[in-house]
A and B are shown apart, each in its own frame.
Chain A
Amino acid sequence: MLPPQPPAPGLGQQPAPPPQRGAVNANAPTDQYPSNLPLDEEGDPEANVSPEEQDQYDQFVGNALNLIAAEGNEKAGESVVSMLSAGSDPVEALATAAVYVVDAVEKSASKSGMKITGETMLHGGQEITEHLAELAESKGIHTFTDEELETGFLKAVDHYKQMNKETMDPEAAKADLQALNDAPPAVLEGALPGMDKMAGQEAPQQGQQAPPPPPPPQGA
């Protein structure tokens, strides 16, 4: 699904630190952002991509927004809304619509001779999913909880993977997976920011007992 990427540093190497273009906000929502990311004045992580990467992202998401929302494309937008309102599972509908939009824009780019990078696909797909969730809410279709939005995005990723599995490189992915698997926690944190936090802060530590299951409802 994703285009071939140039070789990246192996997991045995320490990841390069992100550019320090701003002070780390001590009041940042640490449950959402890795603590080592510099934040901008709005509390969002500062972009750490090249102008070319940002341009591709902007164009990718911008074209998706045009498909969804731009004036003159009302019919397309209505079709997307119909997808969002289809069926009895709004989360599944969100995933369906997200995959449809991402796939449509990606194929359009491909026909134009433009390769969309994995970075753009993943991050752009995230923003597109967020916009679709907001669209669904504004249309009175469904108000997504945080969990539902996460679920919708992950479902979209899974569906996209299913659609594009023929184009994936299993050997490269196996190598990635093995490298991740073998990486020490510090390096893993560099590759997948926030992963150590998941295990280290809010979950029971190794050697400790997991919290007991919630008590059964009274009167059950």
Chain B
Amino acid sequence: MSGVIKAVGKVFKKVIKVAKVVVPIVLAVAAVVLTVGAAIPALAGTVLGGGLASGVTGALATVGINSPFLIGAITYAGYGAAAGGVYAAATGKKITKYMGYGALAGAAVGGGAVLAGIELPGLAAAAPGLGTTAPASLAGPGLASGVANTAPINAVSLGEGFAATGVPITTAGGGATAGGLTIPQAMLISGFAGGAANALSGDDGTKQLEARGDNYNFAGATGLMGNRTPAGVGTTSDVAQQQAREQSNSVAMATPTERLSNGNNEEGTYITDPDTGQVIKIPKQTRLA
């Protein structure tokens, strides 16, 4: 098998544990989505183009896919679910339920992969028009409109790149650049960059940000970025924050770097090298006391 399927059974130790997790079974579904997409390249465009169910049905039938489990996964995920979960999001259903229905349906139809023809309780009514309706977000403005309104945007710069050679990430992809943030070419082709372009456009994106994110609550938030130190906060403020943290006996004030530095696992501790900006691992046995 290829790396994608083989990857599902592997378990990695997470760099930093978070409260919100994608349940492991979704990895299996994702692997199936990737494999089907790779096996039948035309489906990838079909999914994003909105010709979902009919294209998938025929394509799967041509390659003889009839495993109830695979049909279940596909029913839930990439294709039967409008490129992943729009279905579920619309109905509020759990993956397990859909997987089961998919498996049952696959068995019931004798293995024929006829997703479009499967009548599953509650599904048809819940997701009308799957065969013809692309996700609304994909139909939004593409990069062209976003670039047209481009306002100065901060350039993406990782500082030091991957590994020791320090290749900057700034030039990711070969696509268009809006204010220094490069959008991969394929995103532009597919229109997928609509969201990103909006984020960069300086009008819609800014309005959205103001509408939804203006009330960043650093003090009360938790998580990786829960208490990111605002730009410009100097040493004095850091000391004040440290004091406040100690007084409140709270860990919620940790900066991302601090949180990263606390990303311990059984093998060692991860810290950000102040010189290179890279995350490095300090093996447990050499950890400073």
Chain A contact residues, CB within 8 Å of chain B: 1-3, 5, 8-11, 15, 18, 31-34, 37, 40, 44-49, 51, 53-55, 57-63, 65-79, 81-83, 85-89, 91-93, 95-96, 99-100, 103-105, 107-109, 111-114, 117-124, 126-127, 129-131, 133-135, 137-142, 144, 146-155, 157-159, 161-165, 168-170, 172-174, 176-183, 185, 188, 190-199, 201-204, 206, 210-214
Contacts and interface: CB of A to CB of B under 8 A. Distances in A.
A126 B257 CA distance: 21
A40 B199 CA distance: 41
Interface in B5-51: 5-41, 44-45, 47-48
Given A198-B69, A211-B121, A172 B2 contact: yes
B120 interface: yes
Given A59-B279, A104-B156, A192-B32, A86 B162 contact: no
Contacts of B23: 31-32, 146, 150
B56 interface: no
Contact of A109 (B15, B30, B163): B163
Contacts of B70: 177, 180-181
B128 interface: no
21 contacts: A2-B2, A8-B2, A8-B6, A45-B11, A62-B278, A63-B162, A66-B272, A69-B256, A86-B204, A89-B195, A96-B196, A103-B173, A104-B169, A108-B167, A111-B161, A149-B22, A157-B33, A162-B45, A194-B25, A198-B99, A202-B96
B255 interface: yes
5 closest cross-chain pairs (CB), A and B: A203-B100, A151-B85, A118-B3, A154-B84, A62-B279
Tell me which of B85, B197, B281 has the highest count of chain A C-beta atoms within 10 A of its own C-beta. Answer: B85
A199 B28 CA distance: 13
Nearest to B218: A138
Contacts, number: 516
Nearest to B29: A154
A65 B9 contact: no
Nearest to B202: A82
A108 B1 contact: no
A118 B2 contact: yes
Nearest to A191: B5
Given A58-B281, A199-B100, A119 B20 contact: no
B172 interface: yes
Given A79-B199, A213-B122, A3 B26 contact: no
A162 B192 contact: yes
B116 interface: no
Nearest to A63: B162
Given A58-B15, A140-B217, A141-B213, A206 B84 contact: no
B142 interface: no
Given A139-B213, A172-B2, A134 B165 contact: no
Interface string B152-181: 011111110111111111011100000001
B84 A3 contact: no
Interface in B34-90: 34-41, 44-45, 47-48, 63-70, 72-73, 77-78, 81, 83-86, 88-89
A49 B5 CA distance: 15
Nearest to B168: A108
Most buried by A among B45, B81, B186: B186
Nearest to A154: B84
Contacts of A91: 85, 89
From B81, B86, B137, name the one whose CB has the most chain A CB atoms within 10 angstroms. Answer: B137
Given A157-B34, A165-B44, A82 B89 contact: no
Contacts of A182: 67
A165 B173 CA distance: 15
B68 A199 contact: yes
A182 B18 CA distance: 37
A46 B13 CA distance: 7
Nearest to A210: B121
A32 B13 CA distance: 16
Given A87-B198, A162-B44, A195-B69, A81 B213 contact: yes
A164 to B, nearest CB: 7
Nearest to A156: B84
B3 A190 contact: no
B195 A83 contact: yes
A144 B32 CA distance: 24
